[in-house]
A and B are shown apart, each in its own frame.
Chain A
Amino acid sequence: MGFKFDYLLSILPRLIGAAAVNVRLAVIIMLLALAFGTALTILRSRKIAAVNACIAIVISFVRGTPLLIQIFIAYYVLPAVGLDLSPEVAGISAIAFNSMVFVSESMRGGLATVDAGQIEASTALGLPPRAIWLKVVLPQLFRRIVPVLINEATIVVKGTALLSVITVVDVLRTSQQIASSSYRPFETMIGAALVFLVINLVISLSGRVAEARFAAARA
């Protein structure tokens, strides 16, 4: 049997429809990861020994275990402790938690590149810590980690495909449903791969445009 391009074309509309689910979840996850990642970074900068020791263990756990296992923990273990989440919410929580750690870790790297003199100047001017974070440090930090955030966004999009294993009807699960009735799993999976390829290439390219804009704005 040969590769059926017309079949591939015929299922693309359904796959693109399902891609809206992946994109929606990825956007929610990125927003949560950014907000909580920033909060976590500010908390870590307070350097409270006990708190930072706990955070270090959490970071090591998130970086040392597979995302799929973290998704299973949110899906199977949280209900057992009384938190009954829908598959979507469980999946969003797991990936956002994972991504939050990576955002905070890249912020740690970005902070080191902020000019120390600016903090001294802000402190000498008597700016309150809130203003130093919001007006001095964070705006520069976000610009600096744009490339990392773009990369993280593509990782998050790829991560949403894993949610099919906890019954979220995304591109992968939709293509599995299609394949089980058409008996053409190979073409169907190629279709799913193409959909993800296009989403992530669009993110990477728009990221490059954003970087160029920021670079121009600074010059």
Chain B
Amino acid sequence: MKFDPAVLVDYWPLLLQGAWLTIQVSAAAMLIGYVAGIVVALIALVPGWLPRLVTGLYVETLRNIPFIIIVFVVYYGLPFWGIRLPATLVGTVALALFASAYYAEIVRAAILALPRGQFESARAIGMSPASAMWHVVAPQILRTLVPPSTNMTLTMMKESAVLSSITVPELTYQSLVVQGNTFAPFEVFAAVASIYWLIAAVIAEASRRLERRVGAVQAEAVSRNRIADRYLSLVARKN
């Protein structure tokens, strides 16, 4: 078995088109999903048992069903209710729906983690409501919000591969097309995995910069002592 990247030479445009669609669909689903997630989180924080029950059902249902099943439910469900959309749009909706459940939990946790009375204290020392929100509350929420949010965005980008099963011509779909034409699985999947890996690396780097910008807490374990580190640490000590 030999590795011959030349077999892909005619197919690079197809793979890059697929990669571009993966990026577009993920970005759109991130925006829609985040807005929906914020709405769900705010509803969940309304006092009373009913809002909490409804949003809890929404979140738990979407988080406990495989994404590929959510995709098919939306794919067959929209026409069932008389709505006909192109596959790419259906896929984006399904991806946004899936992501919104996770974003909602992230936003809710960040709001709940905020020490009580921050807003009131800021108002008490004479800050305007807008100023209190912008200078006191927002920076603290962002700090707890950014790391899990970017993590989820990465997960969602990877899940978008599943949209190939409803013929959305994104990267995984194109890889199966190219695989069918070339019968060179090694080369095809090496190329496609590398492209995903690259997109993931870009998202990871962007999130690192964003985290530094908002001053997110880095929870890296501090090395304690030489003897314990023989068992309790997986990284070599820097002397």
Asked whether A and B interact, the reply is yes
**Interface, chain A (partner B; CB < 8 A):** 1, 3, 41, 44-45, 47, 49, 52, 60-61, 63-69, 72-73, 76-77, 80-82, 108-109, 111-112, 114, 116-117, 119-120, 123, 129, 132-133, 137, 154, 157-162, 164-165, 172, 179, 185-186, 189-190, 192-193, 196-197, 200-201, 204
- Given that A64-B201, A119-B227 are known contacts, is A197 also in contact with B68, CB under 8 Å in the complex? no
Q: Number of A-B pairs whose CB atoms are under 8 Å?
A: 156
B231 at the interface (CB under 8 A from A): yes
Interface residues of B in 216-239 (CB under 8 A from A): 221, 224-225, 227-228, 230-236
Can you give 10 contacting A-B residue pairs, CB < 8 Å? A44-B234, A49-B236, A64-B201, A66-B158, A66-B162, A72-B172, A81-B186, A111-B233, A120-B228, A190-B73
- Given that A119-B230, A162-B68, A189-B73 are known contacts, is A65 also in contact with B200, CB under 8 Å in the complex? yes
Does the CB pair B69–A192 fall under 8 Å?
yes
Does the CB pair A66–B196 fall under 8 Å?
yes
**Interface, chain B (partner A; CB < 8 A):** 1, 60-61, 64-70, 72-73, 76-77, 80, 158-162, 164-165, 172, 175-176, 179, 185-186, 189, 192-193, 196-197, 200-201, 204, 221, 224-225, 227-228, 230-236
- Given that A112-B232, A120-B227 are known contacts, is A65 also in contact with B158, CB under 8 Å in the complex? yes
> When the two chains form the complex, which single residue of A68, A76, A116, A193 contacts B232, counting CB atoms closer than 8 Å?
A116
Distance between A132 CB and nearest chain B CB, rounded to angstroms: 6
Q: With a CB–CB cut-off of 8 A, which chain A residues contact B70?
A: 193
Does the CB pair A189–B69 fall under 8 Å?
yes
Q: With a CB–CB cut-off of 8 A, which chain B residues contact A186?
A: 73, 76-77, 80
Q: Interface on chain B toward A: helix, strand, loop, or mixed SS?
A: helix
A sample of 14 more A-B contacts (CB under 8 A), given A60-B197, A72-B176, A111-B234, is A45-B231, A47-B234, A64-B204, A69-B161, A72-B185, A77-B186, A82-B1, A111-B233, A112-B221, A137-B231, A157-B66, A172-B69, A197-B65, A201-B60
Q: Interface on chain A toward B: helix, strand, loop, or mixed SS?
A: helix
Distance between B171 CB and nearest chain A CB, rounded to angstroms: 9
Does the CB pair B185–A41 fall under 8 Å?
no
Chain A residue, CB-CB nearest to B193: A65
Does the CB pair A76–B224 fall under 8 Å?
no
Does the CB pair A64–B224 fall under 8 Å?
no
B179, B196, B224, B232, most chain A CB atoms within 10 A: B232
